[in-house]
Chain A
Amino acid sequence: MSIEVNGKVLETDKEGYLLDLSQWEPAVAETMALADQQELTPEHWEVIRFLREFYAEFAMAPAVRILTRAIGKKFGKEKGNARYLYNLFPYGPGKQACRYAGLPKPSGCM
């Protein structure tokens, strides 16, 4: 499978995750979101950027419970819960946000 972003064809796996993480750019998230009819607000970008930073530091995507805890710590308590994240990303922060962020599926995500 593949998606087209800014005239470039990027390979993805069958679940839509980018195969080459280095090909990510913000337009990748926008293209994927558009296909899902998902609007991207600054709050979405907060999570997407956080995931990218987490991946850069630990070479893996965080499990949802680790993500909620860390988001709460960084962006305020009211954001540090699963409901907040599932409201932003109805398909699940792991499945949807990680995909938009150009990360592989989270470790420990079953």
Chain B
Amino acid sequence: MKIKKCLYVNRRAPYGTSYALEAIDMVLIGSVFDQDISLLFIDDGLFQLKKGQDTADVEIKNHSPAYRAFEMYDVEKIYVSKEAMAARGLKRADLLVDVEQLSDNRIKELMDEHDVIFSF
């Protein structure tokens, strides 16, 4: 069977909704199967990757350390939108994993290049 190229598109901020957490679970489960996984963070999804999240005072679990485990799950392709970063005043050094910054024009192509897109 052909290995499917799967793109997980994350566009929601963490904590306000459960999308970010659901995406993490789905990526970890998906990594069990022979999928070629890429993650894309656009819009507010970028905020999921912000370093230094500390949820002790809001009584919600901080899931952000999981992104640093993705490499072990062979999930290594993490893309972010350059424009979305700029709009939010974020720099690569603000993020807790190493990412590749792509222009929104390049991201259109990226979406085209994948067999399946999972949206969160």
Contacts and interface: CB of A to CB of B under 8 A. Distances in A.
Q: Do chains A and B touch in the complex (CB under 8 A)?
A: yes
Interface of A: 57-60, 62-63, 65-66, 69-70, 107-108, 110
Contacts, number: 43
B24 A66 contact: no
B66 interface: yes
B73 interface: yes
A58 B64 CA distance: 8
A18 B53 CA distance: 25
Contacts of B29: 107-108, 110
Interface residues of B, number: 16
A66 B63 CA distance: 18
B77 to A, nearest CB: 18
13 contacts: A57-B68, A58-B65, A58-B68, A58-B69, A60-B65, A60-B66, A60-B69, A62-B69, A62-B72, A66-B69, A107-B29, A107-B66, A108-B73
B28 A59 contact: no
Interface of B: 24-25, 28-29, 31-32, 61-66, 68-69, 72-73
Contacts of B61: 59
A67 to B, nearest CB: 10
Contact of B28 (A57, A69, A70, A107): A107
Cβ-closest 9 pairs across A and B:
A108-B28, A58-B69, A59-B65, A107-B28, A108-B29, A58-B65, A60-B66, A66-B72, A58-B66
